[in-house]
Structure 1
Amino acid sequence: MAEAKGETAPLLAREDPKGRGGAAGGGATWAQTLGNVVVSIVGTGVLGLPYAFRAAGWVAGSIGVAAAGCATLYCMLLLVDCRDKLQEEETDEPCDVHYTYGDLGEKCFGTVGRWLTEILILFSQAGGSVAYLVFIGENLHSVFSQSMTSAGFIFAVLLPVQIALSFIRSLSSLSPFSIFADVCNVLAMAMVIRKDIQLIDHPFANRSAFNGVMAIPFSFGVAVFCFEGFSMTLALESSMAERKKFRWVLSQAVVGIIFVYSCFGVCGYLAYGEGTKDIITLNLPNNWSSAAVKVGLCIALAFTFPVMMHPIHEIVEVRFRSSGCFQKLSHSVPGAEWLGLHSSRILVVTILAVVASFIPAFGSFVSFVGSTMCALLSFVLPTFFHLNIVGSSMNLWQRVLDYSFLLFGLGFAGYGVFTTLSSH
């Protein structure tokens, strides 16, 4: 593989060359991996779900969330199948082979496949990271409106914190932050649902169950975005000491997230109806308990942000290391490699902060990213890879299912681009 030639690097630095069970793995337990899976999937998108349910209806929205979750889980497992198949074909120390998402693209389509895969990862992860910054900035501004604008909070508060956290290079090292973020997310979301339930007097009065076919793509795009972190699949699987348990851990996490997402979306829409805003926390009243919820979510997402940025930093650093000028400089100047790699992290985080300050509408942005970049990365590429790598050993119904996801992903991404261009 190209990795042995120095052309790429894994998305995760291993801590244990051989995990229990005979497969190469990291040092993370199933509980640590579960925490990282949840924190890599659950993000700002969930706070736009009530608005998506308002657009589609509470029944259609619930079905959309379940469909997006099941489809994402299926395609995540396709990536694991691809890597298992490639490792089976290796005859020279298979346990030491570490395949990344980019490796699968190169295996199937050469250098073009690697570049296409990495570009999609960069844009989808960048879209999710920008959404984090927008959400945190808007909510901090709603709580401390007299202090500064939302963009001011992004640059004055978030940017320094995220630059400091970007120096943490290992997912295993980030797991304490992930667990803390999970606790904050659960507590804050529980308080939001509690407030929603208190406002529900007549649950289904003037609340639509289904708002027509044309509303479904928007809500499904938001739902797909809610299952972000797709590019972390292989890195998370490699981080486990017992990698054979990853499928079980991933499945349990996704099923639980589907249930929480559906409850969150339904309760938010039933509470506020047509007044539901694109960020549900902006519907909360201006009191101390609502402020605590907003600040808690902001803290959780601030600690989730480094996990979202991990694939971006790794891809950028790989390109830096493969540059001839960078290699010469790192060999001739002591400390140049460390300075260059960390400077690249600072630059990337700063660029995303600038982009976030110009995003006009959170809901529309989330739906666009979900229906384009996330659809291509979550549905199209995994089925392409699976058909190419595992296709010869698949039966007819598996081929039909893969082709169905492939065509759906292409069609959905095309529709997302069309609606975005036609609206401007």
Structure 2
Amino acid sequence: MQSSSEYSDPIPVRTLANLVQQHLVTGSPSKSSPPSQSRSSGSPVGSPVAEEIPVPYHLPGVAITHDVYTHANSLIMAHSLQRSKSTSDLKVKAGKVLHDSDNEDEIAFENLDKPGGFRRFHVQQQQQQQQTERDTNEPSAFSELFRPNSVASSDSFTNTDYSAILRTDSLAPTATVGSWTKPKATRHFLEYLAYTSVLDRFAGENLSDSEEEDTGETRDEEQQVEGEGAPLLRHRRPYRRKPSEDIATERAKHKTGTIKTMLLLFKAFIGSGILFLPKAFSNGGLGFSIVVIWLMGFISLYCFLLLLDCKNYIAGSYGDIGGALYGTWMRYMVLFSVAISQLGFVCGGTIFIAENMGEAIYALSHGTLEVSTTTLLIIIALLLMPLVLIRNIAKLSPTALFSDVLIVAGLVTLLLFDIVHILFQAPEGSHPPTTGPNIIWWINPVQYPVFVGTAVYAFEGIGLIIPIRDSMEEPAKFPWVLTVVMAMVATSLCLVGSLGYVAFGSDVKTVALLNLPPGALTLSVQIGYAVAIHLSNALVLFPTIRIVEQAIFGDRTGKHNIKVKWQKNVLRFIIVVIVGLIAWGGASDLDKFVSLIGSVCCCPLSLIFPAMFHLRLPKTMGFQRLVDTGLIIFGVGVMLFTLWNTSKQWAASG
């Protein structure tokens, strides 16, 4: 008998039932009890409802899927009888199920009645028998005669174990580049199905577009149009797949090390928002702004760590975590928040581009040509439309790399100029170092609420926390990596904001690059940064487009349907038009517009949802529950406070 070590780690009943139910037809949502009714105070996270799922006899293929529903129901009922059992022996880390217990005695025949269990057991038995025959150098006539096509062949068995092909990286055995080992076999179909249920994408969501995805698991050549001279019958080219070892090795090569993870995180938090900070510091006052930046950085970091703690217990994406804890409505809330936050970032970036390009055109024409903001926004929207038609996000990576270089160059130039302006450029009658006029050194009692929303906006990278964490070679190191990066981000934000405000005082522009003096270098930086943000906007808008498309079109694809494809194209154009209209409405007062985006779009994702999810975990007790509740109240308070005050000031100024 083959040892249990050759199999993947056993999946507990609770987790197996949860993951399998994602693939079953359960009828209308109203038929199932809400999560709050199905979970006692001490029940495990994501406990399945103790109600059998009816077998959909009216659907095609029920003769095949009947066993899957039957055994899924048996898992649900088995778990309902074990709810009093402590969950301390179970953890789900990065989607891989781990047991604290070391039960090595496995009952060999316990999975024979499960779907696919008998076949897997039979293949394993034949493989073991064949291995014994090879060891004794006495192969049987049967195995020798039918060896090329036999399922007992060790060569064919290596390629027959498809469990590793569709298994996601987060569920695969922990491995580093150069030390990967062959994935272990699954015991039955339900276990295999559970291993294919976790996808790591933006915010953990599967936002890939199937219309443009071609993998190496297709035929080597596309089918060509045949001429009249082609033979009616020809030798068929074999359908060749990459061995599972090669595929898993390629996946392991895409794992990121600690340094690369730090760079990815830093880029996720540093975008166009950092250039709004000098003006934001004038709204808040220098001392108040520095304190709030570090305070919001600390609170945001703590909320990010709470989200990662939830990820340790519930496999899946940001939305999956919310759905498991609160129901489908929370998953939709998370997706909606992701969509509008990304849309808000693109709107802010579009206004930034318009203001920079307007100044650049005015300077290049020596003050003879002044293009209106409306005209520039129309041009920017038209230039963005071709980019949003790109359906494969990987094709946007070269533009992202180019934009990163331009952004870093622009920030370095801006910081150097601020330092030179403070230390060496003093007005007549004064000696360096000098500061700008009318600096508020502590707090601006009138406009400080505007800064709070901008501070939340500045920490804009929560959507990438889960996918970057899942891409690490060693996810256990991610919390301290995130802590270091957040300290670097807070330091960078304070440097850009404080130096820009101290250098120019009340004369500081809304966009920091507009403070640079006229000249070729300034024009180069302004145009380069505008191009960088424009190229990044297509990538930033991608999740919003995919979420809206999935909500409207579902699984319908335009790959072989030109009507659906153009319907999706028109939808993408409409989203770009909406971006332009929102940007046009917010262009008159950019700093307040950015504050509104931070309060409405970023507060739920960064401050409210992580604490809500962590509060629902059964392990959250005592003082930790008070902390989570306090964070929820704080997040809602910040959102409403900044929304009300910023809207009131915007209305008064307009």
Q: TM-score, normalised by structure 1?
A: 0.83
SS in 2 for 1:50: helix
Taking the TM superposition and a 5 Å limit, the aligned residue runs for 1:409-424 are 409-423=635-649, 424=651
- The offset of 1:301, in angstroms, is 1.4
Q: 1:356 corresponds to which residue? A: 583
Distance 2:485 2:564 in 1: 38
- The offset of 1:339, in angstroms, is 4.2
Taking the TM superposition and a 5 Å limit, the aligned residue runs for 1:195-344 are 195-200=417-422, 201-203=432-434, 206-212=438-444, 215-240=447-472, 242-322=474-554, 327=556, 334-344=561-571
CA distance change for structure 1 residues 111 and 386 in 2, over 3 Å: closer, same or farther? same
Amino acid in the other structure paired with 1:55? N
2:634 to 408, 415, 418: 408
CA deviation vs aligned residue, 1:79-124 (integer Å, no higher than 9, x gap): 222122113xxxxxxxxxxx22222232232232122222222222
Q: 2:213 corresponds to which residue? A: none
Q: 1:96 corresponds to which residue? A: none
- The offset of 1:268, in angstroms, is 0.2
Pick which of 343-352 and 156-165 moved more. 156-165
Pick which of 351-360 and 341-350 moved more. 341-350
CA distance change for structure 1 residues 405 and 126 in 2, over 3 Å: closer, same or farther? same
- The offset of 1:276, in angstroms, is 1.2
- Count of matched residue pairs: 399
1:184 aligns with 2:400: no
Greater gyration radius: 2
- The offset of 1:64, in angstroms, is 1.4
Distance 2:25 2:355 in 1: 42
SS in 2 for 1:209: coil
Q: 1:153 corresponds to which residue? A: 376
Distance 1:420 1:52 in 2: 12
Distance 1:53 1:35 in 2: 26
SS in 2 for 1:277: coil
- The offset of 1:282, in angstroms, is 2.0
- The offset of 1:307, in angstroms, is 3.2
CA distance change for structure 1 residues 300 and 32 in 2, over 3 Å: closer, same or farther? farther
SS in 2 for 1:376: helix
Q: 2:415 corresponds to which residue? A: 193
Pick which of 195-204 and 283-292 moved more. 195-204
SS in 2 for 1:358: helix
Retained in 2: the 8 A contact 1:50–1:266? Answer: yes
Amino acid in the other structure paired with 2:631? F
Retained in 1: the 8 A contact 2:595–2:646? Answer: no
1:80 aligns with 2:232: no
CA distance change for structure 1 residues 312 and 130 in 2, over 3 Å: closer, same or farther? same
Pick which of 45-54 and 65-74 moved more. 65-74
- The offset of 1:221, in angstroms, is 1.3
- The offset of 1:278, in angstroms, is 1.6
Q: 1:110 corresponds to which residue? A: 327
Amino acid in the other structure paired with 1:259? T
Distance 1:312 1:157 in 2: 18
Retained in 2: the 8 A contact 1:143–1:286? Answer: no
Retained in 2: the 8 A contact 1:229–1:308? Answer: no
Q: 2:174 corresponds to which residue? A: 22
CA distance change for structure 1 residues 295 and 340 in 2, over 3 Å: closer, same or farther? same
Amino acid in the other structure paired with 2:350? L
- The offset of 1:178, in angstroms, is 3.4
SS in 2 for 1:364: helix
Q: 1:93 corresponds to which residue? A: none
Distance 1:258 1:58 in 2: 15
Retained in 2: the 8 A contact 1:230–1:377? Answer: yes
- The offset of 1:248, in angstroms, is 4.0
SS in 1 for 2:327: helix
Q: 2:343 corresponds to which residue? A: 126
Distance 2:565 2:377 in 1: 26
Which runs of 5 or more structure 2 residues have no equivalent in the other structure? Answer: 1-18, 27-164, 176-197, 201-250, 363-368, 423-431
Structure with greater proportional helix content: 1
Pick which of 51-60 and 14-23 moved more. 14-23
Identity %: 25
1:345 aligns with 2:576: no
Pick which of 177-186 and 335-344 moved more. 335-344
Distance 1:349 1:192 in 2: 30
- The offset of 1:234, in angstroms, is 2.3
Pick which of 232-241 and 412-421 moved more. 232-241
Amino acid in the other structure paired with 1:111? T
- The offset of 1:139, in angstroms, is 0.3
Taking the TM superposition and a 5 Å limit, the aligned residue runs for 1:366-405 are 366-388=594-616, 390=617, 392-405=618-631
- The offset of 1:231, in angstroms, is 2.4
Distance 1:54 1:223 in 2: 13
CA distance change for structure 1 residues 338 and 217 in 2, over 3 Å: closer, same or farther? same
Q: How well do the aligned residues superpose, as a CA RMSD in angstroms?
A: 3.1
